[in-house]
Amino acid sequence: MYDCFRSGEHLYIVLEYCEDGDLKGYLDRNRKNGGISETEALTFMRHLMSGYSALLNKKVIHRDIKPANILLKQGVAKLSDFGFSRVVEDPTKTQKLSCLGTPLYTAPEVLARQ
């Protein structure tokens, strides 16, 4: 994130330009070639876990991690779209939060409110 500012009722977040698009598109483009390699998948997962860890350290929960919200730049995966994110004092105790996000990618325990 490069910058963040408000203009009237709107909040703007200025992010790095990721010219390689999102992970959903990347996976779709590579599906006809047999998909991506396990090595590439593990590399992306390491990048995402690093980003997720940074969010937890800042007490931020994303609430909508899915391939379309993961941007790619020169082989590096980056979390994006923080529209449903929220700062919480204890990320392990989020029972009172609204159930947001994309249902297909929502964890079963979130859907079950556990």
Q: Name the residues annotated as catalytic.
A: 64
H or E segment at 53?
Answer: helix 38-57
Q: From CA 29, how far away is CA 77, in angstroms rounded? A: 16
Q: Which two tokens stand for residue 10?
A: 């709107």
**Residue 89, C-beta contacts closer than 8 angstroms, at least 6 positions apart:** 59
φ, ψ at 31 (rounded to 5°)? -60, -40
| Pairwise CA distance, residues 42 & 10, whole Å | 37
